[in-house]
Amino acid sequence: MNGLETKYLHYKTGKSEVTIPRKSLKIISFSWKHKDNVFLVIREVDGQKGLFLSKEIEGHMTRYLYYRNSNKSAVTIPRAILKANNLDWNNGDTIILVFKEIDGKNGLFLRKKKEN
């Protein structure tokens, strides 16, 4: 399963996030706006465990953030969810982001890139 590569970042403050290329959201007509509620759930797709983010599902609520001054967009990922579901994501890990429909809902599937 190929997709866009992005980074998982964990800061000393305890906050962790995944940067989402804003241009990619526009290409697929995602209408996510600054501070929109986005829900995340753990899913397995093609044998790979990861996070599915969508506005169309019920799950743990987070926010999509877009900063005009830096043109950066990101979603905060609670570390407790990663730990509770044995997703071993570390600061700087490469995350594969795939636009996907799961259970009839459109969203983003995020998984850690496998080491070669």
Distance CA 11, CA 101 (A): 31
Query: Residue 22 is inside which H or E element, if any?
Result: helix 22-27
Read off the pTM: 0.87
For the 4-112 domain, the top CATH level (class) is mainly beta
In contact, 98 and 1? CB cutoff 8 Å: yes
pLDDT in tens, 21-59: 877 776 666 778 889 999 999 999 889 999 999 998 999
| Cβ-based neighbour number of residue 93 at 10 Å | 16
